[in-house]
Amino acid sequence: MLKVYLSGEIHTDWRESVKSACKGLKIDWSGPVTDHAASDDCGVEIFGAEPDKFWHDRKGAALNAIRTRRGIEGCDVLVVCFGEKYKQWNAAFDAGYAAALGKPIIVLQPDDHDHALKEVDAAANAVARTPDQVARALRYVLTGTL
Q: What is the DSSP letter of 96?
A: H
Measure the N-to-C terminal CA separation of the chain; round to a whole number of Å: 18
Minimum CB distance to its own copies smaller for 24 or for 120: 120
Shortest distance, position 22 Cβ to its own copies, whole Å:
13
Q: How many CA atoms lie within 13 A of 77 on its CB side?
A: 22
Please report, for residues 81, 134, 143, the alpha-carbon distance to residue 9 in angstroms, rounded to integers and kept in the order given: 6, 15, 27
> H-type helices in the chain, by residue range?
14-21, 36-47, 53-74, 89-100, 118-122, 131-143
Minimum CB distance to its own copies smaller for 13 or for 114: 114
Shortest distance, position 109 Cβ to its own copies, whole Å:
10
Beta bridge partners of 106: 79, 126
Minimum CB distance to its own copies smaller for 25 or for 57: 57
Minimum CB distance to its own copies smaller for 11 or for 65: 65
Shortest distance, position 77 Cβ to its own copies, whole Å:
6
Shortest distance, position 20 Cβ to its own copies, whole Å:
17
